[in-house]
C-alpha cells in the first residue's frame, strides 16, 4: 500500500483499549522517530480525555432527562420537547400533539401489593407506552408523575384514540401486574 512507516498509540479509557491512533507515512518519506511516537502517545491521551469527558456528559444528560424508574423522558425533558415543538410550530406550522395518560389503579396496587409491585406496574406502563409510540415519528414518550404519562409529537398529528387503544392492548397483554389491579386510563 506504499506505506513506509507507521506509528500506533492505543487510546486507553478506564484501563481498557477503546481504540487507537494510527498514522502512516508513504514510502520514500522520513520514517517516524521516537519523538513522533511520544507525540502520538500524548495525542492518544488527549483523545482519551476528551472521549471520557463526552461519555460523562452523556451519562449526566441521561440522569438529568430520564425517569430513573422507567427510562422514559422525565418531566424536564418533556417540558423542553414541548417548548421546542411549539417554537417549531411557530416557524414551520408543523402540528404539535400532546397525549396524556393517567393510569388509574396504581395507588391501589401500591397500597395492597406493596411498592415493588407498584414499581413493576409503572415499568409495565412505561413499556406499553413505548411500544404504543415506538413507530410514531418525532414522538417523545415520558413519565411526568407517579402514574401520569405523556407523548409529545411534532409533525404528523398523533391519533390519541389509537395511542390509547395500543396502550390498553399492550397493558392487557404484557403488563406484569397483581391479580387485584384493574387499570383504566
Q: Give pLDDT, residue 85.
A: 93
Q: In what order do the strands lie in the sheet with 139-143?
A: 96-102, 148-154, 139-143
Quote the CA–CA distance of 170 and 167 in Å, as a whole number. Answer: 5
Query: 13-51 burial, b if ≥16 CB within 10 A, otherwise e?
Result: eeeeeeeebeeeeeeeeeebeeeeeebbeeebeebbeee
Would the pTM count as exceeding 0.75?
no
**Ranges under pLDDT 70 in the chain:** 170-185
Q: Give pLDDT, residue 170.
A: 64
Q: Give pLDDT, residue 177.
A: 55
Q: Give pLDDT, residue 74.
A: 95
Helix axes 34-65, 75-92, angle to 10 degrees: 90
Q: Give pLDDT, residue 52.
A: 95
For the chain, how many residues are written? 185
Amino acid at each position: 500500500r506504499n506505506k513506509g512507516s507507521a506509528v500506533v498509540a492505543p487510546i486507553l479509557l478506564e484501563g481498557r483499549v477503546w481504540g487507537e491512533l494510527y498514522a502512516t507515512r508513504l514510502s520514500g518519506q522520513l520514517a517516524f522517530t521516537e519523538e513522533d511516537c511520544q507525540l502520538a502517545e500524548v495525542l492518544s491521551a488527549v483523545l482519551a480525555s476528551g472521549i471520557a469527558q463526552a461519555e460523562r456528559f452523556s451519562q449526566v444528560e441521561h440522569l438529568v432527562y430520564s425517569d430513573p424508574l422507567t427510562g422514559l423522558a422525565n418531566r424536564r425533558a418533556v417540558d423542553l420537547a414541548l417548548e421546542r415543538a411549539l417554537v417549531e410550530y411557530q416557524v414551520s406550522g408543523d402540528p404539535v400533539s400532546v397525549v396524556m395518560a393517567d393510569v388509574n389503579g396504581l395507588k391501589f396496587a401500591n397500597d395492597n401489593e406493596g411498592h415493588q409491585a407498584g414499581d413493576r406496574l409503572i415499568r409495565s406502563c412505561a413499556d406499553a407506552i413505548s411500544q404504543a409510540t415506538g413507530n410514531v415519528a418525532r414522538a417523545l414518550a415520558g413519565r411526568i408523575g407517579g402514574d401520569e404519562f405523556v407523548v409529545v409529537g411534532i409533525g404528523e398529528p398523533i391519533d390519541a384514540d389509537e395511542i390509547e387503544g395500543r396502550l390498553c392492548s399492550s397493558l392487557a397483554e404484557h403488563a406484569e401486574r397483581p391479580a387485584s389491579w384493574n387499570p383504566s386510563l
